[in-house]
Each structure stands twice: as structure tokens, then as C-alpha cells.
Amino acid sequence: MKLDEIHAVIATLREEYKGWQTPAVTIVAQCNGSPYKVLISCLISLRTKDEVTALASARIFARAQTPEEMVTLTVDEISHLIYPAGFYRTKAGQIAVLSLKLVEHYHGAVPDDIDKLLQFKGVGRKTANLVMTLGFGKPGICVDIHVHRICNRLGYVSTKNPDETERVLRNQLPPEYWIMINDLLVAFGQNHCHPVSPRCSNCKLADICNKVGVKASR
């Protein structure tokens, strides 16, 4: 895929995005979301439907918006607040441990350093990048399963896993698109280019897309 084609892809997706539902973690970031709230919401969102993430985030932030407030809750209380998010008990434990570590070692502030973020249990590259981009507005490319799948389908990358996709994108994606690519492709993946049976017949990217690996479509 040539450079002018990726410019066209982004321009098209930005236009289409206006008609799609905004991803839950993005809404948290847009509504005065601190890096801490982006971090917690992103942890809740892993393997969880967006509607569930949105409601679970609202419930937990109604009780605790900072690490100092979160450490006053028990793991059971956190579990109850984020239920039925996927792996809610494990995530509740991670949220409790992570919040205590922030209070004890970082004066309650989330570090704006991807390597430090990766040291927290439960925080992978996707979450760390999202905290950097949505939480701090700093450069990063958050590659989740949607970004990985769609970049490969388009033929923009040819990679085997999200970490490899992130490495390739860091080399070839124009920097002005780094922060927005996750938001655009998550919304596109949830609303149009679905994991199974994407809507290729009425896709605005059909002329550019190589449909790599697409076996069945609508």
C-alpha cells in the first residue's frame, strides 16, 4: 500500500467515524479522563464488550477516581463494581495491586513512561500505549486485535501478532496518525470490518483494500 493510499484510508475513516459509536475507553478519556481512569477503563475493557466496559467504568469511577480512593475499596467491592467484565475477579485484583503501587511508589500519579507502565501486572503493550496516547496525549501506537486485523486485511502490514504490527507501524505509519489509528480502527472493526464476515460489499475502502485473509464477507 502506497503512502497516498494510507492518507486516503485515514481520511475516509475519519469521515465514517462520525456515524459510529465511540469506543468506551475513548469516551472515558474525552470526559475529563485522567491517565489513571484511562488505565483502569482499559484494563476493564480487555476481552469485554464495549457496552459492558462503559457501564463498569461508570460504576467504578462513581466510587473511586484516583488510586488513593481505589485503595479504600476491597477486591470484592471492585469485583462487584466491574462485574460482568471478562475475568472480573482477576482484573479486580490487578486494579487493587496497581493502585496500591501507584500510591506507594509514584505519589498516586500514573507514570508517563511506557516501560514503567509495562511493569504493572496486567498491563500489556496495548494498555500502555493507550494510556500514553489517550491519557497523556503523547506519541504511541496502540495495536489491539482490531488494528492488527484490519492493517493486515488492507495489506498495509503483513504480520503475525499485534506486537509485530506495532513495530512495523512505528516504522511506516506517518506520525500524525499514531494516536488516532487505534480509535479509528477499533470503531471500524466494531461497526463495519468485523472479525467474521466483514461488510466488504458496501465498504468505502473496497477499492484500496487487498482483503488479505478474508474468506467470507457480506
Interacting residues with ligand SF4 (CB under 6 A):
153-154, 192-193, 198-200, 203, 205-206, 209, 211, 214, 217
Query: Measured from the CB of residue 27, what is the shortest distance to ligand SF4 in angstroms?
Result: 24
Q: Which is nearer to ligand SF4, 81 or 154 (CB)?
A: 154
Minimum distance of ligand SF4 from residue 24's CB (angstroms): 22
Distance in Å, CB of 74 to ligand SF4, minimum:
44
Between residues 66 and 190, which has the closer beta carbon with respect to ligand SF4? 190
Residue 66 to residues 34, 69, 93, 108, Cα–Cα distance (Å): 9, 5, 16, 7
Burial letters 28-38, b for 16+ CB under 10 A, else e: bbeeebbbbbb
Query: In terms of Cα–Cα distance, which of 73, 4, 203 is closest to 214?
Result: 203
- Of 137 and 195, the one with the shorter C-beta distance to ligand SF4 is 195
**From 37, 91, 144, 183, active-site residue:** 144
Backbone angles phi, psi at 115, to 5 degrees: -70, -35
Q: What cell was used for 28?
A: 472515558
In the annotation, is 144 catalytic? yes
Phi, psi at 80, each rounded to 5°: -60, -40
Indicate the residue among 82 and 205 with the shorter CB distance to ligand SF4: 205
What is the closest distance, in whole angstroms, from the C-beta atom of residue 140 to ligand SF4 in the complex? 23
Q: What angle do CA 52, 58, 64 make, to 5 degrees?
A: 130
Strands (E), the chain: none
Catalytic annotation, pick one of 2, 126, 207, 215: 126
d(CA 6, CA 48): 29
Instruction: List, by residue number, the catalytic residues.
Output: 126, 144
